[in-house]
Structure 1
């Protein structure tokens, strides 16, 4: 039962191929957990946000309450890439202005403006925000639930914390070597170092960044804390992509905690849908053969559009069922 999973884990990622209903499943699971007494932080990492449409509420990068139950609640965030990058570079700029002599401030600011659109800037800023929300969410909520972008983007983001931790470690090691050489040189010539405070701030900045990404990597690879819910359809292409997603997630050390097969055709609603149901069964057999240890939930094709609290309540009831 997915609700049991949502009670047992502190962080859940809901992902899969585009168009399979990730946002609907994530939202209904958040609502079900709130109904069960949980405080949930629901976060959309997809640049093409649908979370606000489903909850029929205007959302932003700031936390907004979208649902309140007797003992639980759902707060939602749509990560704004532009705001994230601006905030990220504002912090970087403030640090650089402290580290650099005043004569270099103008050129540094011009460089940072260009860097905002450089390859990797979006991913770095997005990852900082996700790490920040995980740190905050684990302390303030019972569940942090990420409604993710289509699989390729999400898999790339999840691979970054370990890489960036290692990269920052190498920078710190390089700084340590430079500091030792500089200290030796100062001992020879007998001079004080006027940039000691600057160097210390640079080191603190690098250490804080390393520690944040290291915590995020440990969190997402700890199967007792974090799980990944793969949403798919009982169709050939989504099934094939789901198998690839699971393979890559396992390679990253992320626990694939559950599969959700969305929009299953009824078997007793006419010849057309009955035939489609048979074809879906064939597709799902491949999933079961390759992923027989992963719990699977099947959700029926629903009549209503998945927007608004009533629709989410219907889907949440299905997710809560044994």
Structure 2
């Protein structure tokens, strides 16, 4: 979708995680026990004894976050992003994001197991050829079936590895963590930042939404009567006090993180790297939707 108010300079798209899951399913479908047993002409029980059941189970129960990871890899593909100055991705909540970032390592381990499995299956194909006297073409076809299956996963793993490299490219990629001023929100934010740091991912900004702002009675920009009414409201006083405490806690945590060796490493080793920026967004009485509303927000 292209927005006309920005003269075609702003584009948006919504990814389909179900299509991403289908891509992973097709990648592993070659390791389905029933399909492979037909291709090799052996009993499914024999393949299960070689450890193939684990891969068949992945078809039915993929790791959490895999659909978002594949979709993200497609969105951030260099062929897609090269025509844009900036690409902004709205990721899943904390838990999904962390699991998603850990999946490339999971796929590396999976590929190692599959390579070992390929050796077993190749040995099995050779045994079948010797035992049944299979022709050369049939033996080659069986071996090619195994190789094609592993090659598909290798290509998939390579795509995921490329995504991880882009996410860890400190010159091109940074995370902006969005949270709300509650104890739970702040705790989740601190946990996410620490985990991202440990995975060599640069965090540049933290945005706090829904901040209640009490007007200053002495300010010329505020309605004096409205500001006075808000200040006399006990609910707002308590709400502002609670939010202020949470924001202060997060501010201290960000300063501590910004002073760590991991943070400086993720900023190219710069000892004078700017600390993580903290931006407070006020609570509006309406939902901000569309380019004009975003323009208003950026100027508020």
TM-score when normalising by structure 2: 0.67
2:168 alignment counterpart: 221
Instruction: Sort the Cα spacing of 1:93 and 1:120 in 2 relative to 1 into closer, same or farther, 3 A.
Output: closer
Matched, 1:80 2:43: no
Q: State how far apart, in whole Å, the 2-side matches of 1:241 and 1:190 are.
A: 60
Instruction: Please give the secondary structure, in 1, of the residue aligned with 2:281.
Output: strand
Asked if the contact 2:121–2:146 (Cα under 8 Å) also holds between the matched residues in 1, the reply is: no
Q: Which of 300, 306, 320 is residue 288 of structure 2 equivalent to? A: 306
2:251 alignment counterpart: 288
Instruction: Please give the secondary structure, in 1, of the residue aligned with 2:292.
Output: helix
Instruction: Sort the Cα spacing of 1:215 and 1:173 in 2 relative to 1 into closer, same or farther, 3 A.
Output: farther
Shift of 1:191: 7.5
Q: Which of 225, 234, 246 is residue 193 of structure 2 equivalent to? A: 246
Matched, 1:89 2:25: yes
Deviations 1:80-105 (A, max 9, x none): 3434334543565489799664698x
TM-score when normalising by structure 1: 0.63
Q: State how far apart, in whole Å, the 1-side matches of 2:81 and 2:213 are.
A: 39
Asked if the contact 2:196–2:202 (Cα under 8 Å) also holds between the matched residues in 1, the reply is: yes
- Which 5+ residue runs of structure 1 have no aligned equivalent? 1-63
Matched, 1:151 2:77: no
1:208 alignment counterpart: 155
Q: State how far apart, in whole Å, the 2-side matches of 1:288 and 1:240 are.
A: 12
**Map 1:1-322 → 2, pairs under 5 A:** 64-66=1-3, 69-70=6-7, 72-77=9-14, 79-90=15-26, 92-93=28-29, 101=38, 118-120=60-62, 123-135=65-77, 136-175=79-118, 179=122, 192=136, 193-194=139-140, 195-268=142-215, 269=227, 270-271=230-231, 272=233, 273=236, 276-292=239-255, 293=258, 294-318=276-300
Which structure ranks higher in relative contact order (CA pairs < 8 Å, sequence separation ≥ 6)? 1
Q: Which has the larger radius of gyration?
A: 2
Deviations 1:27-55 (A, max 9, x none): xxxxxxxxxxxxxxxxxxxxxxxxxxxxx
Q: State how far apart, in whole Å, the 2-side matches of 1:118 and 1:99 are.
A: 16
Asked if the contact 1:221–1:255 (Cα under 8 Å) also holds between the matched residues in 2, the reply is: yes
CA RMSD, Structure 1 to Structure 2 (Å): 3.8
Q: State how far apart, in whole Å, the 1-side matches of 2:182 and 2:67 are.
A: 35
Instruction: Sort the Cα spacing of 1:65 and 1:197 in 2 relative to 1 into closer, same or farther, 3 A.
Output: same
Q: State how far apart, in whole Å, the 1-side matches of 2:95 and 2:152 are.
A: 30
Instruction: Sort the Cα spacing of 1:182 and 1:86 in 2 relative to 1 into closer, same or farther, 3 A.
Output: closer
Asked if the contact 1:264–1:298 (Cα under 8 Å) also holds between the matched residues in 2, the reply is: yes
Greater strand fraction, Structure 1 or Structure 2:
1
